[in-house]
Amino acid sequence: MVSELTELDANSNSIALGVKNLSKIFDSVAGKVVALDNINFTVKKGEFVSIVGPSGSGKSTLLNMIGALDRPTSGNVYINGIDIFSLNDSQIATMRNGLIGFIFQSFNLINRTTVLKNVKLPGTIAGMDGTETNMRAMKILEALGIADKATQKPVNLSGGQQQRVAIARSLVNNPTIVLADEPTGNLDTKTGDDVFDMLKTLSHKFKRTIIMVTHNPELAESTDRSILIKDGRIERDVTN
């Protein structure tokens, strides 16, 4: 399936992600909410980690901090050894666009443009050469089995196909880490399993580091490792 993505291959066993003493407190009208309370863990390159836990336990907040979509109240996130919150906002944006791929439950595709342009977008933002981005995007779409949809608008695709477009988009910049927040949450079981298998292949065959939030216990058990979050703390961290 993803056999053509040879240039994504990598062999190093080094640490891709480090999370150190990470806390996030939200100030809301109802008072302070401690969403993350001193979280610590590291993830190896190529590891496929699931984050599980009850609703409101802090899973999305954690993913948003790792992806530098928001700043923590305290603590550090290291990506490829870089302390990302020591960077300024523009450096963070560059780092995020180059090293991190995002996949969301609701796909977050731009419906007024084509599948191909959606997939190319992170490359375009990064200033990648247009022809090269085009070739790379098409190659990934082919590997994910949806190259024939390249000129269509995402809205005309099935949920599973749209999520594949989102996966393709997350890979176009050859990211170190792919962050997926309930990527199968809006899909039926069969399609969700297909999308999950794709993520698994990406992790094992192409050494992408994947961190996936899921409410599905079976999928979580099929990842390399599951981290259970409760009330903003790591309650359990098990190798599957």
Ligand X SMILES: Nc1ncnc2c1ncn2[C@@H]1O[C@H](COP(=O)(O)OP(=O)(O)OP(=O)(O)O)[C@@H](O)[C@H]1O
Residue 45 touches ligand X, criterion: CB under 6 A:
no
Between CA 72 and CA 85 the distance in angstroms is 8
Between CA 93 and CA 70 the distance in angstroms is 11
Residue 55 touches ligand X, criterion: CB under 6 A:
yes
Residue 105 touches ligand X, criterion: CB under 6 A:
no
> Exactly one of 40, 56, 129, 148 binds ligand X (CB under 6 A); which one?
56
For residue 208 the two structure tokens come to: 């992408």
Residue 184 touches ligand X, criterion: CB under 6 A:
no
Confirm if 22 and 197 have CB atoms less than 8 A apart: no
Residue 186 touches ligand X, criterion: CB under 6 A:
no
Residue 58 touches ligand X, criterion: CB under 6 A:
yes
Residue 61 touches ligand X, criterion: CB under 6 A:
yes
Residue 178 CA: distances (Å) to CA of 104, 158, 171, 209, 213: 11, 22, 8, 6, 11
Residue 60 touches Mg ion, criterion: CB under 5 A:
yes
Between CA 6 and CA 2 the distance in angstroms is 9
Residue 173 touches Mg ion, criterion: CB under 5 A:
no
Nearer to Mg ion (CB atom), residue 64 or residue 176: 64
Number of residues lying near Mg ion (CB under 5 A): 1
Within 10 A of 149 (CB to CB), how many other CB atoms are there? 21
Q: Which stretch binds ligand X (CB under 6 A): 15-23, 50-58, 74-82, 121-129?
A: 50-58
User: Both ends of the chain: CA-CA distance in Å?
Assistant: 24
Nearer to Mg ion (CB atom), residue 52 or residue 116: 52
Residue 33 touches ligand X, criterion: CB under 6 A:
yes
Residue 217 touches ligand X, criterion: CB under 6 A:
no
Residue 57 touches Mg ion, criterion: CB under 5 A:
no
Query: Which among 78, 61, 80 has a CA at the least distance from the CA of 70?
Result: 61
The DSSP 8-state label assigned to residue 8 in this structure reads G
> Exactly one of 28, 90, 131, 151 binds ligand X (CB under 6 A); which one?
28
Amino acid at 110: I
Nearer to ligand X (CB atom), residue 194 or residue 231: 231
Nearer to Mg ion (CB atom), residue 60 or residue 214: 60
* CA dihedral sign of residues 200, 204, 210, 214: positive
Within 10 A of 23 (CB to CB), how many other CB atoms are there? 16
Residue 13 burial by Cβ neighbours in a 10 Å radius (0-12, 13-18, 19+): exposed
Nearer to Mg ion (CB atom), residue 17 or residue 180: 180
Residue 64 touches Mg ion, criterion: CB under 5 A:
no
Chain positions contacting ligand X, by CB under 6 A: 26, 28, 33, 35, 53, 55-61
Interface with Mg ion (CB under 5 A)? 60
